[in-house]
Structure 1
Amino acid sequence: MPDNLSFEPKTATIDSGGTVTWTNESDIRHTVTAYEDETPDEAAYFASGGFESERAARNRVTEGLLASGEKYEHTFDQPGTYRYFCIPHESSGMVGTVRVE
């Protein structure tokens, strides 16, 4: 996250069954939180902190924060487009996309 408030790359394309690892490279704490309504229907929900829904992730945001150097990873088994965001910095445009082919 070179400018501290963005995901790099903003869009990643991977094969089905692939794993994405997010590493917080800034000194600001961030989350990786899927938009529940912007993931394929059959796909597992994902969020740092291990939440099972976007609502739970938003309600307990401090449990999902990644400190500098911490990592979060998720394996994508269903093809489709997944949009995600950082809860504290969503209004600053900290959003990203994973495309699974």
Structure 2
Amino acid sequence: MQNSQNNETAYQISDQIRKKHRILISTAAIIILFYILFPIVLSSFMSEQNIYFLPLAWGYVLLLFLMTWGIGVWHFFFTKSFNRKLDERGEQAKAGGDQ
């Protein structure tokens, strides 16, 4: 019974780690797409003679600033709550292993 409980807790922890990796990889892909591909698309569709080029460029810079701060704050709170869950499960596994 004890070994079964430890295996179940280990499975839950590895499942949570997979979830964390999945979220981090998808977030990294979104960041790369936004930081690299959007300026290429912006420069290919817009020319400097276009009246909307400068407002769109400034809007893009503002979005980059807000996105960078937003992702940083989101990542901080996500990893904080995720690590708290893992610590709780680790303590449960230790408590179950000591009995």
Tell me which interval the TM-score lies in, with the shorter structure as reference length. Answer: under 0.3
- More helix per residue: 2
Give the structure-2-normalised TM-score.
Answer: 0.19
TM-score between the two structures when normalised by the length of structure 1 = 0.19
